Amino acid sequence: MRIVCFLRRAGYWLVNDERFLNESPSERKEDLAWGRVIPFVAVHLACLGVFFVEFNKWAAILCGFLYLSRMFFITAFYHRFFSHRAFGASPTMIGLMALLGCTAGQRGPLWWASHHRQHHIHSDTPKDPHSPSQRGFIFSHTLWFLTHDSFRTRWAQIGDWGKYEFLMRIERYDWVPFALLGIVCYIMGEACVGLVPGASGVQFFIWGFCVSTVLLYHATYTVNSMAHLFGTRRFETRDNSRNNPLLALITLGEGWHNNHHRYPGSARQGFYGWELDLAYVGILLMDWLGVIRDVKTVPTSILLAGRKR
């Protein structure tokens, strides 16, 4: 009987079915969900493999490329599009952005957007999913998304996406593009054997997939944790959001967090020319190419008020 229950829970977990939680009603919502913890820890431990495989520039290039590209997918697609609708796109492009975002291993776009919208509505209050002022730095940086409470998608926050059935299907299997990326990295490494010194499937998997993923994870998480603790406040918002140029650099623009909380609907978070926002540059390029449309910007009144401060 226990085996049947285990298999049923595993099946629910694989398709992000919330019945997964009903299988263990005795667990508290703040308890860690080990089905999430184990893969998260495993990808970190796999990074230790760098001490056992040869390093070369091609491994570094692959690592850097997958870090930057997937950071853009999270920043531009999951955050600015799915969470804030900061620009428009066709259904085909919406599906492509969702699939590309899934390669980052941060669950599906609807789950991501629902928790982020909850953060904006209740920022730095007890209802904020990841406020460092409420639960501490470590919880806001990583532990919050590993709990049973965070397993659920907050459907009440994303009613505008309910009509897109293909997004629901992508959401159920959000781990598949992530896993496929790991497989592709391994195949690339094997294909380079004899062409690149020291290349192997394991080498490309560790550097290209594991190392870049862990770097991507923790750079992304700094916006939840450090961007509410360290930096400057140009605007008086009802939360602790701060602008941090260093975080903006490693996250392609997300570090202008106080700006963002002042006007979340803008596709641009570095409001002024001296605030580097590489994700916004990418969004403008996509707009120029015609693959997206209706890019939203910051009202002039807000820009003028910010300049005075």
Rounded Cα–Cα distance for residues 114 and 139 (Å): 19
* pTM, to two decimals: 0.93
What is the separation of C-alpha 195 from the centre of its chain, rounded to a whole number of angstroms?
Answer: 34
Q: Give the position of tokens 């609907």.
A: 265
Give the pLDDT confidence score for residue 35 in this predicted structure: 79
Instruction: Please write down the HEC assignment for all residues of 6-43.
Output: HHHHHHHHHCCCCHHHHCCCCCCCCCECHHHHHHHHHH
Give the pLDDT confidence score for residue 5 in this predicted structure: 63
- C-alpha closest to that of 257 among 284, 282, 283, 228: 228
Instruction: Please write down the HEC assignment for all residues of 78-115.
Output: HHHHHHCCCCECCHHHHHHHHHHHHCCCCCCHHHHHHH
Rounded Cα–Cα distance for residues 223 and 268 (Å): 16
CB atoms within 10 A of CB 7: 10
Element housing 282 (H / E) = helix 278-289
Give the pLDDT confidence score for residue 26 in this predicted structure: 47
Tokens of residue 186, six digits? 């391994």
For each successive 10 residues of the chain (309 residues), what is the average pLDDT? 63 66 60 86 97 91 97 98 98 98 97 97 95 95 92 92 92 96 96 88 96 98 97 95 97 97 97 96 98 96 85
CB atoms within 10 A of CB 171: 21
